[in-house]
Structure 1
């Protein structure tokens, strides 16, 4: 009888450990994957810049503070970019939807996109895109 209780306690303990491990991994694997993947998404995004005059396109909204910060940063750095307001232009919203992103701002070159605003990441993208 005691042997059976010990087995139950051991099985319950093992089940709890596995559940805790599953919860921990379930919460952290997406984060680790994004870190491993890096901040940039590579691909052919030339459709988002070829019909515009400049080599970079910024998708954003008029009310987003991060979008405003991105615009200010690019302007102060002397970088010319296509400013696409997705809340004011149906064409801009359609192009933005093609990217499949859920957040703004999105900075697009012909081969990379960067979601969100970070001065360090913007500088990296500008160097890699050879925009200046």
Structure 2
């Protein structure tokens, strides 16, 4: 399953960011995390890709998931 690149755009105080990161850890999936409160370039990249300023924004391959949408995450990862 870990053939897809996962990027999570987060902030330290976001509870749904924590849920998303914990979910990927439970699945044993590696992901790259960007703290958009400290990384302006990552924040700009996140906004360009998603049109969103809120977090989490999750990139799975070339697909964007806004928020912790577990059903969509599972679908993109091929989990039933």
TM-score range, shorter chain: 0.7 to 0.9
RMSD: 1.8
Match of 1:83 among 33, 38, 45: 33
Q: TM-score, normalised by structure 1?
A: 0.51
Deviation digits for residues 47-77 of structure 1 (CA, Å, limit 9, x no counterpart): xxxxxxx711111111100011101111111
Change (3 A) 1:102 1:94: closer
Unaligned runs of 5+ in 1: 1-53
Which residue matches 1:71?
A: 21
Q: Residue 87 of structure 1: CA displacement?
A: 0.5
Counterpart of 1:111 (choices 42, 53, 62) is 62
TM-score by length of 2: 0.79
Specify which structure has the higher proportion of helix. 1
Larger Rg: 1
Question: In structure 2, which of residues 72, 76, 80 is the aligned counterpart of residue 125 of structure 1?
Answer: 76
Name the structure, 1 or 2, with higher relative contact order (CA <8 Å, separation 6+). 2
Flag structure 2 segments of 5+ consecutive residues without an equivalent. Answer: none
Choose from 55, 69, 94 the match for 2:5: 55
The structure 1 segments of at least 4 consecutive aligned residues displaced by more than 4 Å after TM superposition are: none
Task: Output the CA distance in 2 between the equivalents of 1:65 and 1:110.
Answer: 23
The number of aligned residues is 75
